[in-house]
Every structure is written in structure tokens, then in C-alpha cells.
Amino acid sequence: MKLPYFLIDAFTDQAFTGNPAAVYVLNAPIPDDLMQKIATEMNLSETAFVLQGQSATTLRWFTPTTEVDLCGHATLASAHALFTAIDLPHSGVITFDSASGALICEQTPDGIRLNFPATPPSPTPPDPIICEQLGVTDPIYFGRSKFDYLIHLSHEEDVLTLAPNFSALAAIATRGFIVTAKAKAAELDFVSRFFAPATGVDEDPVTGSAHCCLGPYWATQLNKPTLHAAQRSQRGGSLTVEVVASRVLLTGHAVLVGRGELLL
């Protein structure tokens, strides 16, 4: 059996930056354990599996160690593959059926726009163990969303210089940790980094789903619904975030950098 795949850098317009994802477009279902083994073999923060059925196009995401309920960059990568790399009829809009409901992806002049559910945070008392293992002190805000902890620091430099203890953080029951600050650059509103060692991803390069939490938080902090964000990982990437009621619109670019076949 040969399974074709696409390697796509998401939330960037330059190869070898942004967040890489492998996208498998399947003609027929394959077992869950095989999808996990493939994701482990690819060893990227996410591997996406798209299955086109008669009534719906389903999308699932796997890290090297587990399946997740929502992933932004691999959704963007999957939409980019279907829009540009596969000769299929479409109207510039694709709707994926996923564990997080229907996800609409639309081609726009500014990039591909993802319509995702908002996951706003709720404040909680700062956890001293999390703060210690992240290496943060005196956070402006400490809270938790449906998926992750959110920590707001005073300065962008505080975010950039973090050196977390990943092995200790992996033992904490959460998908990940979002650390954010107001951006210094005039063209940006906020910056962030995202750590998810419990799911096999110490630091994710650019995390679309984290912005479903960051968007509502910063929209309230800055009193503006549309925001420009950058994730300050080593690879780096950027996106536009718009909060519309209970949804978050994430707009970004993607680049096809490779394609191949997995031989089974």
C-alpha cells in the first residue's frame, strides 16, 4: 500500500519557517493505530489525515504520541493541500468534520481563513509549580482554557528568554502552556510561545489552536476584535486573529515544501 503525503509549512510564506505538518489525503479509512504509527514516524508536531467521503470531509490530527481534538496549523496545511496540490473541484471553501465540530476554511486575498471555536481562558490562582518549571515570576495573568494554561508576562523579552523544564511540565495534566506578552513591534499586538511536552511536543513552532484562547484574551485586554500575532519560536510564524462572538477567525499563509509516498 502506498499513502501519498504533503509536507507543508503553515502560518508562513517562506519555506523552513512556520510550523511544518504532514498531510495524508486518504481514499479509504485506515486504522487508528496505523495513523498514530505514521505520526510517530513523521515525528512532526502534527500529522493530519483527511478522508473525503460522500457526505463529509473528515480531518484528524496526531502528534508523535497522541491524537488531539483541535490543531490550527495542520488544518491550515490540510486546506492548503486541497486548495493547491490536489486537482479537486472546490469554490474556495472547504468544511472539515472534526472532533471540534465543523471547521470552515476559506481562501481569501490575505491567506487561508480558518473558522474555529473560541476557547477563552478563566482566571485561576497562579500555580507555583507551573511558574517555577516554566521559569516565570509575577505573571500579570494566570488562567486556564479548555485545553491549556495561559500566562501573561510583563515584557516580550520575558517570553523570549524562557527555558522551561520540559520533563517536569510533562507530568502536569494539561495539553499545554501558552505564555504571552504585548508585542514591542508596532505592527503586532501580542507575541506568544507554546509548550506541550505531555503530548510529545516540547515547543510548538506556531500553534493555531492556542490563538483560540489568545484571541479572546487579547481582544478584551486591548479592546479590539482584530489582532496581529507572532509566535516567537525558533522557526517563528505569524497570523491574523479576529474574534467574532464565540468563534475565532485565524488567517495565515502556507507553503508546500515537499511531497512523497509512505510505503506499507
Amino acid letter, residue 182:
K
Binned at pLDDT 50, 70 and 90, residue 86 comes out as confident
pLDDT at 88 over 80: no
In this predicted structure, what is the pLDDT of residue 113?
Answer: 98
In this predicted structure, what is the pLDDT of residue 56?
Answer: 85
Q: How do residues 115-152 score in pLDDT, each as one tens digit?
A: 999 999 999 999 999 999 999 999 999 999 999 999 99
Listed in order, the ranges of the chain carrying CATH 3.10.310.10 are 2-116+251-263, 122-244
Mean pLDDT of the chain: 96
pLDDT at 62 over 90: yes
CATH number of 122-244: 3.10.310.10
Binned at pLDDT 50, 70 and 90, residue 172 comes out as very high
As annotated, the active-site residues are 46
Residues 256, 200, 16: CA angle, nearest 5 degrees? 25
With pLDDT > 70 as the criterion, what percentage of the chain qualifies? Answer: 98
Report the 10 Å Cβ neighbour count for 197: 20
On whether the pTM is more than 0.85, the answer is yes
CA distance 167 to 86: 40
Q: So what CATH class is 2-116+251-263?
A: alpha beta
**Beta-carbon contacts of residue 163 (< 8 Å; ≥ 6 apart):** 135
Q: How do residues 10-42 score in pLDDT, each as one tens digit?
A: 999 999 999 999 999 999 999 999 999 999 999
- Encode 153-196 in three state secondary structure: CCCHHHHHCCCCCHHHHCCCCCCEEEEEEECCCCCCCEEEEEEE
In this predicted structure, what is the pLDDT of residue 161?
Answer: 97
In this predicted structure, what is the pLDDT of residue 53?
Answer: 80
Could you tell me which of 187, 188, 236 has the C-alpha nearest to residue 214? 188
With pLDDT > 90 as the criterion, what percentage of the chain qualifies? Answer: 94
CA distance 209 to 105: 14
- DSSP state letters, 30-81: --HHHHHHHHHHHTSSEEEEEEE-SS-EEEEEE-SS-EES--HHHHHHHHHI
75-104 average pLDDT score: 90
CA distance 184 to 214: 17
> Lowest-confidence range among 53-67, 100-114, 148-162, 191-205?
53-67
Q: How do residues 41-59 score in pLDDT, each as one tens digit?
A: 999 999 999 998 877 899 9
CA distance 51 to 74: 14
Binned at pLDDT 50, 70 and 90, residue 1 comes out as confident
